[in-house]
Chains A and B, each alone.
Chain A
Amino acid sequence: MTEVQLLQTIGMSVIGVGGAILLFVKARFVRVMAFVAMVLGAFSLVALSVPQMASMPPAVEKIDVASIKEKKELAAIGQKIFFSKGQCALCHTIGSSEGRCPDLKGVGSKLTREFIYESLTQPQAYVYMDYEHEGRAKFFPAKMPHINKKPIGLNNNEILAVIAFLQSMSGEEVTINLSELATPSSASSEGRKAL
């Protein structure tokens, strides 16, 4: 029995017992408390009937630089970060106009890697109303957070991996060289200069 099934059983039992009390017990206080229990049981059942999503802390995925042999592996790591720790997909879409922020379809071919890096780390440095958007300029309600600062806090390697993913999914050649990734020993001295 799963946790949800167990809780559903408890909820239904509470409603059943409450109903029985209302039917057979005359003491008013007990009846009122049974009524309260039934309401709470019903509330729990409704809450159990909606999609059950827990919010897990982001997995601590350390990029093992030594194990990356090809650029497409870097792009695959970037894709993982895009949809998990980076939380990019909470606002951005890829190929749909329903997002809170610009659609990123083809962004890797429209923008240079330097510009993407700047957009991630200094989002207010240069703001398009909507890049290459046809028709009237579009406003977006959400502002881009500094992706290299808390609470998201991607490190330089992770940012480079995301850029590799954006280039790769746009059909572009990935311009991030594997040698640019900071190894543990060089981590402190790497950074922007990698660009």
Chain B
Amino acid sequence: MKLLASGNEAVAFAARDCGVALGCGYPGTPSSEILDEFSKAGGCAEWAPNEKCALEVAIGAAYTGARALATMKHVGLNVAADPFFTIAYSGTPGGLVVISADDPGMASSQNEQDNRRYAVSAGVPMFEPSDSQECYDMLCAAFELSDKFRSPVLFRMTTRVCHSQCVIERRYADNPMAQKATCFTRDPKSNVMVPAFARLAHRRMRADLHKMAEINEQKQFVIEKNASTGLGIITSGISYQHVLDAVPEASVLKLGMTYPLPEKTIRDFAAKVKRCLIVEEGDPVLYEQIMAMGIAVENKLEEFRFGELNVGRIRKLVAGDDTPDAPGAPGKPPQLCIGCPHRKTFEVLRDLGCIVSGDIGCYTLGVMPPFCAIDSCVCMGASVTVGLGMRHTLPEAEARKVVSVIGDSTFLHTGINGIVEMVYNRPATGHVVIIVDNRITAMTGCQENPATGRKLDHTTPAYAVSLENIVKGIGVDNVDVIDTTVETEKFAEVLKKRLASNDCSVIIARRPCILAMAKMAKMGKN
């Protein structure tokens, strides 16, 4: 069966066709569509409150022998890094694949970290697909490898691979693999990572990586094009597709499984060409490993470490030309929608001269004119705690202006801990946290979250977590719920009063996202 599919859709189809029993994740561009598509294709999928929860739920499922998939964007793996590093030791009886969707060039992210580093750092095998067909084929291969070695596998995608549509052959659609029968087998030596068992597990994991490198030498995941003996390019991921267009005359070694690397294959290739250049987006991850093998290869110039690569940039990279590209006419930047419930909230914050510790979501656009009302943004959940740090060290008059602004989904992701910190280590001037609650995870395309009352499929009813009950239960002094669009004056008055006090206060600015309302109306909901 041939069809046009994005990389994300291809992964969803592959997960369906190779018997994945459970997909867990937290939305994040460019990964968000995977679980939606998996669910639409009949797979069992859930949005967890954050990536750590998602990976841990997937681990639990894989402990029972089921195949499980965890999906997240690159920065999400930072949140899930704790279970990731230790499950690398113990592994799971069922196949476990962790998808990291990286965002070189930061189309929709706060950094462009290269998560291939995680594979090396944690000792987890990694695949890097370069198009939708490889997404499909390699996900199936990743589960086979995971099953064989009881090791988690990191499946590293990038924005262009996730979102580009290509023609794919859904090879196993007619013959999908059945889900495995599950059972619990007591095996503490493998599954309980106390030091005595973890020491053994670490040795086993390193030994398995050597075996996997041997498998990689069989070239199942290698594409080798022997052409010029002058120039050879070693590459992976989307860069491979650009290389084919940019330097058609070059010999190319394209690696699909990029950790652990096939040393002999690389050494043989490098020996055949006069100049062996590494073309990789982001960090010099391949370069450093290949140099450490004692193989003389050439790194790209520093300029090409930044942003996405493309055909034009690779032509310059090969020519050793690191002059920056001429800037084009600036496009129109994104903005808060007309009718967005966050607009009035930011107008008031701007007019009161607040120092705003911001967070990750649509509302980060409050930094743009005409609001100019966000003063910091670090990572998911940081608004609350960064604001507290400012309160602790600023002189009183300025400390009183500090407000933390966080969205509903972000609050449930990693904001709750910040509220605990707030009531435990109270700043002398207290603090004010505004939860901008638009009843959906909007920025990433309107996904459900634990407070919306609906499961991932937008249909199945779920328990709706109450934000006000959470913060009341933690012990904040005041909780107000205000629709800032219709009660703008009241919001300004309450905010002024809370800022003047030494209380620890939460204001929930509640009004549904207009995009979500339109989407739900289209789906016949509400």
Instruction: Indicate, yes or no, whether A interacts with B.
Output: no
Q: Chain A residues in contact with chain B, CB under 8 A?
A: none
